[in-house]
Amino acid sequence: MSTRRDIILTTIARDDLCLETLEVRGRDGKDFHSLGVANIRVALENAYEAGRASARPTKAVCPVCNRAIEITPVARTN
């Protein structure tokens, strides 16, 4: 059974790195790939954003008014 994390990683690998699968297939020709820096950067950015989007809100105390606050991640805009 695939977890949400597995689905996200597989999607990034397929869409950004042009990899058929993340499964080890036991053959160098299928398990090692030459990838461009631009593709790797996009994949890392997408993985970072997926992590940000899945982050739980952080509870803190406002240093100015001393009230309890909740900080939630905001989707990145381009």
Q: Where are the domains of the chain?
A: 4-71
- For residue 22, CA distances in Å to 10, 16, 26, 43, 55 come to 7, 13, 12, 14, 24
- Tens digit of pLDDT for each residue in 44-76? 999 998 988 888 888 999 999 999 998 887 766
CA atoms within 13 A on the CB side of 45: 12
Name the 3-class secondary structure at 68. Answer: strand
Q: Residues 10-23: what's their mean pLDDT?
A: 95
Would the pTM of this model clear 0.75, i.e. be above it?
no
Q: Residues 34-39: what's their mean pLDDT?
A: 96
Which amino acid type is present at position 78?
N
Quick one: what percent of the chain has pLDDT higher than 70?
A: 94
**Which one is predicted more confidently, 53 or 9?**
9
Question: Are residues 46 and 16 in contact, defined by beta-carbon separation less than 8 angstroms?
Answer: yes
